[in-house]
Each structure stands twice: as C-alpha cells, then as structure tokens.
A = this chain, B = another copy of it.
Amino acid sequence: MALKKIVERQTGVALWRQIADRIRLSISNGDYDQTGMVPPETALAQEFGVNRHTVRSALAALADEGLVRAVQGRGTIIERKDRVSYPISRRTRFSQGLGRQVKEIGTRLLGHAEVPASGEVAAALGVSPGALLIELRTVSSGDGRPLSTAVSYFPADRFPGIAEEYARLGSVTKAFAVHGLDDYVRVSTEIVARHADADELSLLKLSPGAIVMEAQSVNADLDGKPVEYSRTRFAADRMKLRIET
C-alpha cells in the first residue's frame, strides 16, 4: 500500500493540533480499545511522519483535555472515550436522546431577554420582522462536561414568561406544557460545521481551535405553526449527530 500522508504542513494549522485531532478521533472510534492505551510516541511519530516532539505536543494537548494520561515507562493511558451520540428526529427532545450515554444531564440558563425578531428568525418562525420574541441562552452538559450551547427564540405573545418556567422546570418541553402545548415536532434542521469562536470556546470549555457543529432548527405545534427557533452549537469532538428519518 502506498504511504498515506495524514497531516499537512504550512496550512495555518499546527501539526501537533492536526495530530491531536486524529488521535482523538481514533480514541472515540475505539481503535485502541484492545490495550486501552495510545500507541507509543515513537510509533505515532512514524505513522504521522513527524518528530516525536511534535507527537508529544499533541498528546500534551489531549492530556490537558483530560482525555489521556501519560505514565513514564508505561505509556499513555486513555482516561475517557468521547462523542456522545445525539439523535435528531421528528420528535427530538434534548434530555431523552442522551439517555443512557451519560449518567447526569445538566442544563444551565445563561440568560434571557425580550427581543424583536430579526429577518432570518422572523422568517423561520413565520412572524413579522420586529415581532416580540423571548430569547433563551443555555448550556447543556453531560456528566459535568459541556456538550452544547443554544440560543432559542419563542413568540412572546404565545409563550409569555417562558424563560421563568424554563428556569424553574429545566426543560423546554415542560415549559411548553404550562402554555397548553403538549406536543410539538421538529420541522427543519440545518447543520454546518466551523471553527468555534471565543464565546463558544469559553462556554463549551473547548481547547482552542476546536470545531463546532451548528444546528439551526425549527419546532412547530401539530398544526404546523412554528413555536421555537433555535441555534444549537455542539462541541464536535464530544458529539456525533444521529439522524433518524
């Protein structure tokens, strides 16, 4: 088999970071499950065609994330596997989906505000631009590790005080129920991937340079009337999105 170049130089992305990303992916793919260890630094250096020092920088970054732990004389031990699978379906509910993958789900309300609808959001929600919306900003974690951060918009006339109910109940589904909305469905989802900005790095406690997947989605009641527009950013190296069609 031909030698396969894995990492590229002079790209504006440091080799150690590219290598860290590849190793993180291998860990979450279970490539090292047999031993529970990352291959030796010299083997990785050969595999990626770089100096051992460069591999060490990559491993140091992963150790910093708490993903691995190096022990002199023994090797580099995998502390934790990654990527929680997040299901997206017609009946997507945040908490339910993560189910047995994480023991404890935490959702924190960062803040809320009443804002006029911008053009894009107005179009998605089917309201006129400038109509009053309630904006909710949240961060969700699994077992203490941040997984996603979201901004959600709800029509203020239909769901007055939804921020307070969300804060009290910790769930959009339950807050909807207070307003007599017992069921709703996901009508559209769009996904893009990009580098995280400084805000997202801090909220999601990401190692800098990390990637986020951004899902823009609309939920509607059973009559098809939109009730929620949200922009959720998932930490790409902690999550995969499972589409259920």
Which residues of A come within 8 Å of B, CB atoms? 4-8, 10-14, 16-18, 20-22, 25, 61, 83, 85, 88-90, 92, 185-195, 197-199, 201, 207-209, 211-213, 236-237, 239-245
**Chain A: interface secondary structure?**
mixed
In the complex, are the beta carbons of B245 and A90 less than 8 A apart?
yes
5 extra A-B contacts, CB within 8 A, seeds A6-B197, A191-B213 = A12-B20, A187-B245, A188-B244, A190-B241, A243-B245
Chain B residues with Cβ below 8 Å from A21 are: 194-195
Closest partner residue, chain B, to A241 (CB atom): B191
In the complex, are the beta carbons of B22 and A189 less than 8 A apart?
no
Oligomeric state, in copies? 2
Roughly how many angstroms separate A109 CA and B194 CA in the complex, as a whole number?
Answer: 28
Chain B residues with Cβ below 8 Å from A199 are: 4-5
Chain B residues with Cβ below 8 Å from A189 are: 242-243, 245
Closest partner residue, chain B, to A187 (CB atom): B245
Roughly how many angstroms separate A4 CA and B199 CA in the complex, as a whole number?
Answer: 8
Nearest 5 pairs of A and B residues by beta carbon:
A11-B208, A12-B17, A193-B193, A13-B209, A189-B243
> A236 with B194: in contact, given A13-B13, A188-B242, A189-B243 (CB under 8 Å)?
yes
Closest partner residue, chain B, to A191 (CB atom): B241
Roughly how many angstroms separate A186 CA and B242 CA in the complex, as a whole number?
Answer: 12
In the complex, are the beta carbons of B242 and A6 less than 8 A apart?
no
Roughly how many angstroms separate A89 CA and B189 CA in the complex, as a whole number?
Answer: 11
In the complex, are the beta carbons of A236 and B85 less than 8 A apart?
no
Closest partner residue, chain B, to A235 (CB atom): B193
